[in-house]
Chain A
Amino acid sequence: MNQATPGTERRRGGRWHDAGFFGGLGALTGVYVVLILALLVADFGFTSMADLGAAIASREILYAVKLSLLTCTVSAVLSLWVAVPAGYLLSRYNFPGRRWIDLVIDIPIVLPPLVVGLSLLILFQTVFGRAIENALFPVTYQIPAVILAQFTVACAFAVRTMRVCFSQISARPEQVARTLGCSRGQAFFRVTLPQARQGIVSAGILAWARSLGEFGPILVFAGATRMKTEVLPTTVFLELSVGNLEAALAVSLLMVATAAVVLGLARLFGMRGGLG
């Protein structure tokens, strides 16, 4: 009979411990992955292609698709306009109140969506909000309200992404550019911004995806009026509220497909950390 040496026993014991460790990790991860896959399979199994085609061809849903694409794109562009300078400022410079600004920008991320919508609604009932509506254009319960509701939440995620992006880019090349004759602006636009291209694309995709999924703030601030402020999540809500499960599911699957495309694009551009 072969007697195991102490080293051999430790190796065998180690293998069992490894198996237990990785088995535990795998089981916990697996439960979540299976849950997501089960959701998708259940969605696809519940409806037929004919139902999908009929629902997607409806005038209301087509309007919601178009409005979603338009408002998400506008929100993403607006988010980038804020996120690029804000992310750069917060990651590169120490100034009085920086921590407070950082904290304030994170508020829309942690605030319940309905509260964001309610706050926007109240803001536009104040003197300030009414002045904006009188001077520019109507906002509340109109398409601009959809964009503003999406932008308020999406921008916070975009700023966070850009802040991480700029903090990963060394400040040294920018400093070198300044010694070579570039102003601060030239060094930023010629040296740092091109290096942040991947981060900008990631932040844009993230802002777009967040905007697409936004529902709570839009419901409260823009309402859920058919052919007016109806975006895809609103359609799901409206169809469900009248018991049209097939149409609600068709729109949901459309959003799943869009999410898959967005995830693919995000992976393509190296956004490994996930969407927010």
Chain B
Amino acid sequence: MIEVRDLSLRAGAFTLEGVDLSVAQGEYAVLVGRTGTGKTCLLDAVCGLRPLRGGVVRLRGVDVTALDPADRGIGYVPQDGAMFAAMTVGDQIALPLRVRRVAASEAREQVVGIARELGIDALLERRPRGLSGGERQRVALARALVFQPAVLCLDEPLSALDEETREEMYEVILHSVRDRGATALHVTHSPSEARRLGSIGLRLEGGQVHPFSLKAEARSAP
């Protein structure tokens, strides 16, 4: 599970104070909120990418507040895919396995397996330049899932995609993330994305996280 208690941080002039958040084991939480409310900052803080002024982050009951991002075991999918431009698709999906010293043959097997699952096995020898937005997000997802993380953080991963590709990605995410039983925290602006993917809804508003019902949201949607 993901648990944040009394979190405070500062990013330039922006501050978050005393934020609490809780996502139970195996839930797919969607975090919504208006632009500039600090959703990405909160996600970065959970991943260890932003220094905290106060508070605690616990993953699966373990306090990871002082841990390096590398030691938190979170699969992170950023907004634009954040491809490693100098690596082939295969190499960047294999990176989490290489740094964990997984044997090359086993790593190759796992990379091919996840690439097949996400429909990008034909791209393994290509470099990111020239990949479509949907392909980039599939690669970013494969890279984040290949080391079997128990927690996944996704920062508006579908925001730059067209409607058709987004529909495809809903299915890909639902199958690959939820079927693994990973706990996910997914930041999005899109109410339809939240309804399609989320099992619980969280709204960041006025510096606080409030749960909301995705079903009620769906009923009130046009």
Is B221 in the interface zone, CB < 8 Å from A? Answer: no
Shortest Cβ gap from B47 to chain A (Å): 5
Cross-chain contact A175 with B69 (CB below 8 angstroms): yes
Q: Knowing that A178-B69, A191-B87 are A-B contacts, what are 7 other residue pairs whose CB atoms are under 8 Å apart, sorted by A's residue number? A: A172-B80, A172-B82, A176-B76, A178-B68, A180-B99, A182-B70, A182-B99
Encoded as 1 (CB less than 8 Å from any B CB) or 0, chain A from 159 to 185 comes to: 000000000001011011111111100
Taking beta carbons and an 8 Å cutoff, which residues of B are in contact with A? 44, 47-49, 68-70, 72, 74-76, 78, 80, 82-87, 95-96, 99-100, 140, 143-144, 147, 153
| Bound: A180/B95 CA distance, A | 8
| Bound: A186/B68 CA distance, A | 13
Taking CB as reference atom, which chain B residue is nearest A180? B96
Shortest Cβ gap from B86 to chain A (Å): 3
Cross-chain contact A181 with B147 (CB below 8 angstroms): yes
Cross-chain contact A177 with B86 (CB below 8 angstroms): no
List chain B residues, Cβ under 8 A from A190. Answer: 84, 87, 95
What would 21 A/B residue contacts be, using CB atoms closer than 8 Å?
A170-B82, A172-B78, A172-B82, A173-B83, A175-B44, A175-B47, A175-B49, A175-B78, A176-B76, A176-B82, A176-B143, A178-B48, A178-B49, A179-B49, A179-B74, A179-B76, A179-B144, A180-B70, A181-B147, A191-B86, A195-B84
Is A99 in the interface zone, CB < 8 Å from B? Answer: no
List chain B residues, Cβ under 8 A from A176. Answer: 76, 78, 82, 140, 143
Cross-chain contact B82 with A180 (CB below 8 angstroms): no
Taking a contact as CB atoms closer than 8 A, the residue among B47, B80, B84, B85 that contacts A179 in the complex is: B47
| Bound: A273/B121 CA distance, A | 40
Interface centre among A177, A180, A183, A194 (most CB of B within 10 A): A180
